[in-house]
Amino acid sequence: MVSEKLNPADHFTLMMDHEIRASGLAGNFCGVVLELDGVPDRELVAQRCRQFGRRFPRAVARLKRQGRQYAWTVDGAANVPFHFHKLAAPDAPERTREQLLLEILNRPTPALEAPPAELHLVEDSGKSALLLRWFHPACDARGAELLLHHLFQPDTSTPPAAQATLETLLSKWHFWEKAKLAYKAVGNIRRLDAQSSILPEASAPSTPRLGLRRVNLDREQSARVMSQAVRQTGMMGISLYFIGCLMRALDQAGNSSTGDAYCIPYAMNFRKSKSLYPVFGNQVSFLFAQAGRQLVKSREALFSHLREQNKQAIKNRQDYAMLPLMQLGSWLTLQKHGAIVRQSPHGRERSSAWFSYTGDMYPAPSQVAGCAVTGVYQLSPVTLPPALGLLASRFDGRIMLSYNFIDGCFSDDWLDALTRSVTTELLGQD
pLDDT at residue 180 in the model: 96
> What residues does 86 pair with on adjacent strands?
123
370/372 Cα distance (integer angstroms): 7
| DSSP strands (E only) in 93-189 | 117-124, 127-135
CATH architecture, domain defined by 2-152: 2-Layer Sandwich (3.30)
For 166-211+218-362+382-426, CATH gives 3.30.559.30
Judge residue 55's burial from the number of C-beta atoms within 10 Å of its C-beta, 0-12 exposed, 13-18 middle, 19 or more buried: middle
Residue spans of the domains in the chain: they are 2-152, 166-211+218-362+382-426
Please give the pLDDT value at position 288.
96
Distance CA(422)–CA(430), nearest Å, equals 12
Q: Which residues pair with 392 in a beta bridge?
A: 357, 401
Phi-psi category of 15—alpha, beta or left, where left has phi over 0 and alpha has psi -120 to 50? Answer: alpha
Does the predicted model carry a pTM greater than 0.75? yes
Alpha-carbon gap, residue 184 to 189, rounded angstroms: 9
Strand, helix or coil at 175? helix
Q: What is the pLDDT of residue 219?
A: 97
Cα–Cα distance for residue pair 333/330, rounded to 1 Å: 8
3-state helix, strand, coil in the chain (%, to 5): 40, 25, 35
State the pLDDT at residue 101. Answer: 94
Quick one: pLDDT at residue 90?
57
Task: Say whether 166-211+218-362+382-426 and 2-152 share the same fold.
Answer: yes
How far is residue 140's CA from residue 341's CA, in Å, rounded to a whole number? 19
Radius of gyration of the chain (CA): 21
d(CA 242, CA 299): 12
| Pairing outcome for strands 29-36 and 371-379 | antiparallel
Could you tell me if 268 and 284 are in contact, meaning their C-beta atoms sit under 8 angstroms apart? Answer: yes
DSSP 236: G
CA dist list (Å): 1 to 67, 78, 80? 17, 13, 18
pLDDT of residue 310: 95
Residues 6 and 321: beta-carbon distance below 8 Å: no
pLDDT computed for residue 92 by the predictor: 46
Distance CA 189, CA 91 (A): 55
**pLDDT for 157:** 60
Reference 8, options 140, 109, 161; nearest CA is 140
pLDDT in tens, the chain (430 residues): 578 899 999 999 999 999 999 999 999 999 999 999 999 999 999 999 998 988 888 888 999 998 888 999 987 767 899 999 998 755 545 578 899 999 999 999 999 999 999 999 999 888 999 999 999 999 999 999 999 999 987 665 666 566 678 888 899 999 999 999 999 999 999 999 999 999 998 888 888 999 999 999 999 999 999 999 999 999 889 999 999 999 999 999 987 778 899 999 999 888 887 778 878 899 999 999 999 999 999 999 999 999 999 999 999 999 999 999 999 999 999 999 999 999 998 888 999 999 999 999 888 888 898 899 999 999 999 999 999 999 999 999 999 999 999 999 999 999 999 999 999 999 997 6
Rounded to whole angstroms, the Cα distance separating 186 from 325 reads 8
The pLDDT value given to residue 162? 62
Q: Is the bond leading into 81 cis (omega within 30 degrees of zero)?
A: no
Terminal CA-CA length for the chain: 60
